[in-house]
A and B are shown apart, each in its own frame.
Chain A
Amino acid sequence: MKRLWFFLISGLLLFCTAGSRDTITALDRAMVHAIGIDRAEEGFNVTLQIFRPDSAGTDTQLDPAKANIFIVSASAPTVGEAMTKCENKLGEFLFIGHNQLIVLGSKVSLEQSKRLFSYFIKSKESYLGAKVATAQDASKLLSAELSEGAVSAQSLAGIIDRHVENSDTLECDLLKAFNAESSTLLIPQLALSDSKDDSEEQSVTVKNTAVYVSGQHILSLDEDTCNGLSLLLGEGDHLTLSLEGKEGTAAVDAALSRSRPRLTRNGDRLKCSFEVCVYLQNNQSLELLFDKKDLLDQSRIRLQESCDKALSLCYETSADLIGLSDIIRSRYPQLWLDCGGDFDRLLSLTELSANVRVEIRQ
C-alpha cells in the first residue's frame, strides 16, 4: 500500500515536470561549430558557422564532398547581442555546446577578455575547451570552402591540433582566453591561402603565433621561436628538423619528453632552469644519411638556439611566455605575494637558462 502511494506520487510528478514549455527539441536547434568575432563599427561582427548537412541524394545525409556548413552573421555593440541577432535571422535556437573553435579578428582586443567572452562563460552549453585562434578576417576564414574534411570547423580544429603536436604553435582554449586581460596569452594565427587555380577550394594553415600581454597584441612568434617554447613548456609531441647530412639536407624526426622546470633560490635571486630532452628514433635512413656524432651536435645546437631565443624574448618584451609567474607562485608563494605578482619584478630576480640534451633511441 505504501509503495503504491509512492509510485502514484512519483508518476504525478513525472507528468508535472515533463512537457515543460521551455523544452526545445533538437529540430529547433542550430548547431554552431565555429564562431568568428571581428571588430565592426557598431562594436562586434559575429559570424557563425552552422552545421547543415548537404545531401547528395545518397543514403546518408552528410556528403563529404561538400562543405556542409551555413554561414550567418550579425553586428551589435556586444557579442551576446550579436548572437541573439543571429538567432533571430536563423529562426532557430542556437546550440553552442558543440562549438569547436572561436576565431578572433586581428582588430579584436582582449583587454576586456572577461566581458568579450562572458556570453560563452555564462552559458552552460559552452565547452570551455573550445580552441581559440586569431585571423586577419575571421568572417572570411569561416566562410571559406575548405578542401579538407567534411565539416570545416572540425578541419580547422584538426589543423591547429596537428601544428601543436608538431611544435609549430601553442594551443589556446576558451578558459585561457578568458583570463587574457590579466596574463600573457599565446594564440595560433590562422591564415587562408589563396587558391592557385579557378577552383573554390582553399586551404588554411597556422602562419604564426600571436602574443597578447594583458590583452594587447604585442608581437607574433615565428615557427622557430614556437619550437623553442614548445620544448620549454613541454606542449608539443614531435619536431621535424632539417639538418645537413652526408649527402645534403635531410629531415630528422624528434620526439619530445615533458620536463618540469627547476626553480632554486639563492638569497634574493632565483634560478629557473629547463632541462629539455629530445629523442631521435634510430632507423636505417639515420645511419645512412648522418654521422651520429655530427647529428647529435647539429640537433642540439639548433634546439638550444631555439630555446635561448624564446628565453631572451621574455626579457626583451617582458612577456611571460614560459609561465614563470605561475611557477614562482606555486613554489615560493610568499615571495610572489611580496612582489605583488608583478612579472617585471619577478623577472628581474630570476636567471633563466635552458639545457638541451639529445639522445638517439635504439
Chain B
Amino acid sequence: MKTISPYQAAALMLCFSLSRLISFKPSGDNLLICAAGELLAGAALAAVSVALPEKLSIKGRLIPKLCAALSAAYLLLQLTLLLSDLAASTQYSFPDFYASPAMIASAAAAAAYCASMGKGGCGRAACAVIVITLIIFVLTAVGAADRFDPDRLSLAVPDRAQQLSRQLLYSLGTACEIPLALILRQSTDRPRRAALLWFSGHSLSWAAMLTLCAGVIGDHALTGIPIDTLSSYSKTSVIERFDALLLLVWVLCTVLAAAALLSGTGCCIKIISDKAGRFAPPIGALISGAAACLLTGQGVLLPASVMAALLGGAMLLGFGAKEVRGC
C-alpha cells in the first residue's frame, strides 16, 4: 500500500543523515576529506538504490525470513548506536546537566510513539523537521559567515588517501539510509526519486556544513564535535549562540530517524511473523534503549568492516521482501 510521497521518504532518510552530521566527530581527520568520503559513500549507496529493480522476489520460505531477520538485527543495532551516540555526544557537550539513561529512555519512548503513527505520520513530521533544521543551519552559517576565511581550507595532510578510505569505510558501515530506502520503497510510488532527493540533500548539507566548520574554526574543528563548536561560536545581532537551537534540531532528527528504524524493524519482523510485527516497534525501542544505556560511555564500537558486512546483509531485504500488508 503506497502511503508516503517520495519527498516524505527522502525526508525520513535525511533525518538520519542530519543526525549523523550534527554528532559527527572527525577524530583528527581533515574535514574536507571527511566530507569527500561521505559524498562518495552517499553516491555509491544512492547508485545502488536507484539501480535495484523495482520488485524482485526470491522463491522459498526460509531465505526471505533469514534476510528479514538479519535486516531487523542490523536496524536494531543502528538504533542502539544512534541512541547511545545522542547520549554520549550530549554528555560530551553538556557534561553537567544531562543523565544518559533519562535521555535515552525519553528518546526511545518518543521514537516508539512516532513509529506507532505509521510511516505517513513519520514522513509528514520528518518534512517539518528537515525544514526547521535547514533554517537553523542557514542561521548558524549567517552568524559564522563573518569569520569564514577561505585560507583555512587546506588539504595539507600527509595521509590523504588513508583518511579518505577510513572515512569511506566508516560512512558505508554506519549508513542506514539505504536499508531504510529499501523498506520505504514499498510504501512510495517513486522510490528512485526519493533516493536521488536524499542524495542531493545529504551531499549539500555535509559538504556545506563541514566546509563552513573548516573555514571558520580551522584546526580546532579536528577535535570534538565541529558542528556543535560552530553553533556556539556563531553569533548574530539577535541570537548570540545557536547551540541550544542545534540541540533542539539534533534531538528532533534523532527521534524521527529512530522512529524510521523502528518502523523498518516492524516491517522486517512482519515478514517473519505477522503477529509479532505489531509489537516490534515498542519492544525494539525497549531492547535498543537498554542496550544503549549499557553501551554509553563504554567506548564500544564495532569495526567498520563488520558494520559494512551487516549493511550488505540488510540490503538483501530488497531482494527477499514481498509485499507486506500494512508495511
Choose among A17, A127, A260, A334 the residue that contacts B241 (Cβ–Cβ < 8 A): A127
Q: Which A-chain residue is minimally distant from B105 (CB atoms)?
A: A13
The verdict on A124 contacting B94 (CB below 8 Å), with A13-B102, A20-B99 known, is yes
Q: Which B-chain residue is minimally distant from A341 (CB atoms)?
A: B156
Q: Which residues of A contact B241 (CB under 8 A)?
A: 97, 127
Choose among B150, B235, B243 the residue that contacts A129 (Cβ–Cβ < 8 A): B235
- Do B158 and A337 touch (CB < 8 A)? yes
Q: Which B-chain residue is minimally distant from A128 (CB atoms)?
A: B233
Q: Which B-chain residue is minimally distant from A332 (CB atoms)?
A: B156
Q: Which residues of B contact A124 (CB under 8 A)?
A: 93-96, 232, 243
Q: Which residues of A contact B147 (CB under 8 A)?
A: 129
Choose among A6, A23, A337 the residue that contacts B109 (Cβ–Cβ < 8 A): A6
What string of 1s and 0s marks CB contacts (under 8 Å) between A171-183 and chain B? 0000100110000
- A323 and B149 CA atoms in complex are apart in Å by 11
Q: Which residues of A contact B97 (CB under 8 A)?
A: 20, 22-23
- Do A336 and B156 touch (CB < 8 A)? yes
- A337 and B229 CA atoms in complex are apart in Å by 27
The verdict on A6 contacting B116 (CB below 8 Å), with A124-B95, A128-B233, A330-B153 known, is yes
Q: Is A90 an interface residue, CB under 8 A from the partner?
A: no
Q: Is B217 an interface residue, CB under 8 A from the partner?
A: yes
Q: Is B110 an interface residue, CB under 8 A from the partner?
A: yes
Q: Is A16 an interface residue, CB under 8 A from the partner?
A: yes
What string of 1s and 0s marks CB contacts (under 8 Å) between B198-217 and chain A? 00000000000000000001
Using C-beta atoms within 8 Å of the partner chain, give the interface range for chain B.
Answer: 35 or more
Q: Which residues of B contact A64 (CB under 8 A)?
A: none
What string of 1s and 0s marks CB contacts (under 8 Å) between B131-165 and chain A? 00000000000000001011111111110000000
Quote the shortest CB–CB distance from A174 to chain B (angstroms): 9
- Do A326 and B105 touch (CB < 8 A)? no
- A152 and B235 CA atoms in complex are apart in Å by 21
Q: Which residues of A contact B232 (CB under 8 A)?
A: 124, 127-128
Choose among A127, A175, A323 the residue that contacts B217 (Cβ–Cβ < 8 A): A175
Q: Which residues of A contact B150 (CB under 8 A)?
A: 260, 330
Q: Is A327 an interface residue, CB under 8 A from the partner?
A: yes
- A227 and B23 CA atoms in complex are apart in Å by 42
- Chain B residues 214 to 271 lying within 8 A of chain A, measured CB to CB, are 217, 219-220, 229, 232-233, 235, 240-241, 243
- A17 and B95 CA atoms in complex are apart in Å by 15
Q: Is A10 an interface residue, CB under 8 A from the partner?
A: yes
- A9 and B113 CA atoms in complex are apart in Å by 10
- Chain B residues 74 to 98 lying within 8 A of chain A, measured CB to CB, are 93-97
- A179 and B149 CA atoms in complex are apart in Å by 16
Q: Which B-chain residue is minimally distant from A10 (CB atoms)?
A: B109
Q: Is A292 an interface residue, CB under 8 A from the partner?
A: no
The verdict on A329 contacting B220 (CB below 8 Å), with A13-B105, A124-B93, A128-B229 known, is no
Q: Is A196 an interface residue, CB under 8 A from the partner?
A: no
- A175 and B219 CA atoms in complex are apart in Å by 10
- Do A179 and B219 touch (CB < 8 A)? yes
Choose among A10, A20, A323, A334 the residue that contacts B110 (Cβ–Cβ < 8 A): A10
Choose among A17, A129, A175 the residue that contacts B102 (Cβ–Cβ < 8 A): A17
- A106 and B27 CA atoms in complex are apart in Å by 35
Choose among B93, B95, B156, B220 the residue that contacts A337 (Cβ–Cβ < 8 A): B156
- Do B151 and A179 touch (CB < 8 A)? no
Q: Which residues of B contact A23 (CB under 8 A)?
A: 97
Q: Which residues of B contact A327 (CB under 8 A)?
A: 151
- Chain A residues 1 to 24 lying within 8 A of chain B, measured CB to CB, are 2-3, 6, 9-10, 13, 16-17, 20, 22-23
- A183 and B105 CA atoms in complex are apart in Å by 45
- A10 and B112 CA atoms in complex are apart in Å by 11
- Do A22 and B96 touch (CB < 8 A)? yes
- Do A6 and B102 touch (CB < 8 A)? no
Q: Which residues of B contact A91 (CB under 8 A)?
A: none
Q: Which residues of B contact A77 (CB under 8 A)?
A: none
Q: Which B-chain residue is minimally distant from A98 (CB atoms)?
A: B240
- Chain A residues 172 to 225 lying within 8 A of chain B, measured CB to CB, are 175, 178-179
Q: Is B106 an interface residue, CB under 8 A from the partner?
A: yes
6 A/B residue pairs, CB under 8 Å, sorted by A: A3-B116, A9-B109, A22-B96, A22-B97, A326-B152, A337-B158
Q: Which 9 pairs, one residue from A and one from B, show the smallest C-beta to C-beta distance?
A: A333-B156, A6-B113, A17-B102, A330-B154, A330-B151, A329-B154, A128-B233, A329-B156, A326-B151
> Interface on A for B, CB 8 Å cutoff?
2-3, 6, 9-10, 13, 16-17, 20, 22-23, 97, 124, 127-129, 175, 178-179, 260, 323, 326-327, 329-330, 333-334, 336-337, 341
